[in-house]
Amino acid sequence: MKMILEINNLTIKYGDKVALNNVSFNLEKGKIIGLLGPNGSGKTTLIKAVNGLLSLNIGKIRINGLNIGVETKAIVSYLPERTYLDLEVKVSEMIKFFSDFYLDFKKEKALELINNLEVPLNKKIKELSKGMREKVQLALVMSREADLYILDEPIAGVDPASREYILATIFNNRKIGSTVIISTHLIYEVENLLDEAVILKEGNLVAHNKIPEIIKGFNSLDEWFRKEFRHV
């Protein structure tokens, strides 16, 4: 099976603080992966590194066989934890911007998702609630035909009633054969979607395996996680 993401001996420091310590793992194409760990475990640092937003102290990252750069940005669709949308722009204008900027962006899909998520097209981003802004951002990210989707806390700011629909949106609108990485602390909400999990603690990789292998002896991934990190 071909690998979409290869991380070898990755170490990242902020000053003297080690955020990621000699982390190595590979992800196969076509999987949905949970990136999990308690606060401060290094999840967001890892995501930023894969997206080329941080300098690597030691190690290598390759996406679809390519070093991080312009070519990898063209095949990765990234949803950051915090919104990056221009607050003065209308939702419809944001869709046009993405359509002009990304060759793999599907405008009709974006319009359909925005409609299904009940987001008003003609309102400015600043006029929307935090949850609505996150829905816009998710619709934009999932409207790309990317090889790798990286989603940092995609349901954290969404009301519980909308979470199931948001997760269904992610699952049903990803490009066929693509890989999805979901970083979240709401494990019970996503675990039924996951094929595998990458689990970090204090910058170290503590587990990477298929879900059934990780949770042997437990009823769920959420139960395993709560016991494993009960003192963190």
pLDDT in tens, 67-113: 999 999 999 999 998 888 899 999 999 999 999 999 999 999 999 99
Please name the residue that has the structure tokens 């299904």: 116
Count of residues making up the chain: 232
Residues 3-81+141-228: name the CATH superfamily. Answer: P-loop containing nucleotide triphosphate hydrolases (3.40.50.300)
Tell whether the model's pLDDT for residue 126 goes beyond 90: yes
Buried-exposed string 190-209: b where 16+ CB fall within 10 A, e elsewhere: bbeebebbbbbbebebebbe
Q: Quickly state the pLDDT bin for 231 (edges 50, 70, 90).
A: low
How high is the pLDDT of residue 68? 92
Do 76 and 147 meet the contact criterion of CB atoms below 8 Å apart?
yes
At residue 171, does pLDDT exceed 70? yes
CB 67 within 8 A of CB 5: no
Q: Give pTM, 2 decimals.
A: 0.94
Chain centroid to Cα 119, Å, comes to 22
Sheet with 32-36, strands from edge to edge, namely 76-79, 148-152, 179-183, 32-36, 196-201, 204-210
2-20 mean pLDDT: 94
Residues 10 and 22 sit within 8 Å (Cβ to Cβ): yes
- Are β-strands 3-14 and 76-79 bridged in parallel, bridged antiparallel, or unpaired? unpaired
Rg (CA), the chain: 18
Compute the distance between CA of residue 205 and CA of residue 13 in angstroms, rounded to an integer: 15
> pLDDT (tens digit, 9 = 90+) per residue, 140-163?
999 999 999 999 999 887 778 788
* Mean per-residue pLDDT of the chain: 93
DSSP string across 158-189? S-HHHHHHHHHHHHHHSPTT-EEEEE-S-HHH
Q: Is the pLDDT assigned to residue 232 strictly greater than 80? A: no
Residue 18 pLDDT grade (very low, low, confident, very high; cuts 50, 70, 90): very high
**For the segment 177-228, what is each residue's pLDDT rounded down to a tens digit?**
999 999 999 999 999 999 999 999 999 999 999 999 999 999 999 999 999 8
2, 63 in Cβ contact below 8 A? Answer: no
Residue 173 pLDDT: 86
Q: How far is CA 16 from CA 19, 46, 83, 204, in A?
A: 9, 17, 29, 16
Strands 148-152 and 179-183: parallel
Cβ(147)–Cβ(179) below 8 Å: yes
**CA 218 to the chain's CA centroid:** 26
Q: What is the mean pLDDT of residues 167-183?
A: 92
Q: Residue ranges of the domains in the chain?
A: 3-81+141-228
